[in-house]
Amino acid sequence: VSDGRVEIEVEGDRSLIEELIKLLKVGPRAAHVADVKVDWKKPEHQFQSFEIR
């Protein structure tokens, strides 16, 4: 997002997503993570690949 925030959408096993959320809260070594907001939704099974935009 243009204001410095990062937005991700993921689908998959809930336990794996929860592990990802833990990692996102820490962030990479030189990053400052101020907040992580999670919005759980019903899976739509729309993803078949991975891309960074």
Q: What are the boundaries of each domain within the chain?
A: 1-36
Give the pLDDT of residue 47. 84
1 pLDDT exceeds 80? no
pLDDT, tens only, 4-25: 888 999 999 999 999 999 999 9
pLDDT, tens only, 20-31: 999 999 999 988
Tell me how far CA of residue 1 lies from CA of 6, 14, 34, 49, in angstroms: 6, 25, 15, 21
Answer yes or no: are the C-beta atoms of 3 and 38 closer than 8 Å. Answer: no
